[in-house]
């Protein structure tokens, strides 16, 4: 059996496009509908009640469009709202926390993992618990980095402002380095992480700056490719895969500025997904 209906993907903004990119690469026959709630981003500094309400309104929109499965490609929404969302809809719903946690637990050699995320995600301790579920002996160091999502939503992906913000954000986990590369306050070797998990789908868009700030010897992990692999398994097990050799359709929706969204999407997809449409969800009207 096969199912040609699209896969729905949802994020608070443009960050989930990194997950969409991996889904399209991993599942080239599948159609997709992506909804970015840019008009109300960032979610990470909002209350849990707001995150749950906004997430529900966006998934209601995807459900109205008859998607066969939904990827909540937003770490904050996954951390705060996923159980409520799964109870509300009768389609499979996949979050990004568990795949990312599994990838980080497998990657670490010293069993010391740093997690950077939005304040709401860190407040939930979802990644701490998920990594501990994978390997109870891994030490997990969580740190909120609220500067980073607004940069991505503003289309600022590289440059001195980005480099400075990333260094400031990582300093509590990595120590701090001066412009000449020397450590200003190096952490002792037995406290340094060897794996850094980007627990927000916006952060891979800043990967050049993050990798440079983390330095050699630190594996930088994001959940996009792991999530796409889990999605592929979910579709196969539930006989929801699209027919092979079809012509997949891809629709991108945003509650925010269409041109700003399109410019960021073009960085990831070129002209492939040139069409971006505005959408209004109830509280964003």
Catalytic amino acids? 74, 200
Separation CA 177–CA 1 (nearest Å): 56
Separation CA 224–CA 52 (nearest Å): 22
Cis peptide before 165 (omega within 30 of 0): no
Separation CA 111–CA 60 (nearest Å): 40
Q: How far is CA 202 from CA 36, 80, 115, in A?
A: 12, 17, 14
Positive or negative: CA dihedral 155, 170, 51, 15? positive
Separation CA 98–CA 103 (nearest Å): 9
Separation CA 250–CA 31 (nearest Å): 6
Name residues whose C-beta falls within 8 Å of residue 122's C-beta, 6 or more positions apart in sequence.
Answer: 115, 142, 143, 144
Paired tokens of 102: 């599994």
């Amino acid at each position: 059996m096969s199912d040609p209906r699209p896969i729905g993907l949802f994020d608070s903004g443009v960050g989930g496009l990194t997950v969409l990119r991996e889904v399209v690469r991993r599942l080239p026959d599948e159609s997709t509908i992506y909804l970015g709630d840019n008009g109300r981003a960032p979610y990470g500094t909002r209350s849990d009640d707001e995150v749950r309400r906004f997430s529900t309104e966006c998934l209601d929109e995807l459900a109205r469009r008859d998607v066969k499965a939904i990827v909540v490609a937003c770490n904050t929404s996954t951390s705060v709202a996923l159980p409520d969302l799964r109870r509300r809809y009768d389609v499979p719903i996949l979050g990004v926390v568990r795949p990312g946690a599994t990838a980080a637990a497998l990657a670490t050699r010293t069993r010391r993992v740093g997690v950077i995320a939005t304040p709401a995600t860190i407040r939930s301790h979802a990644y701490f618990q998920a990594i501990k579920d994978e390997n109870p002996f891994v030490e997990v160091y969580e740190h909120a980095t609220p500067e980073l999502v607004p940069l991505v939503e503003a289309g600022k992906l590289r440059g001195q402002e980005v480099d400075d913000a990333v260094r400031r954000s990582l300093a509590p986990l990595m120590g701090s380095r001066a412009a000449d590369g020397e450590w200003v306050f190096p952490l002792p070797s037995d406290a340094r992480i060897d794996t850094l998990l980007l627990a927000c789908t916006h952060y891979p868009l800043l990967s050049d700056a993050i990798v440079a700030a983390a330095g050699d010897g630190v594996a930088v992990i994001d959940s996009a490719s792991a999530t796409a692999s889990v999605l592929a398994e979910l579709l196969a097990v539930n006989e929801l895969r699209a027919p092979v050799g079809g012509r997949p359709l891809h629709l991108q929706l945003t509650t925010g500025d269409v041109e700003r969204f399109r410019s960021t999407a073009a960085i990831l997809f070129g002209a492939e997904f040139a069409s971006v449409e505005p959408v209004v969800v109830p509280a964003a009207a």
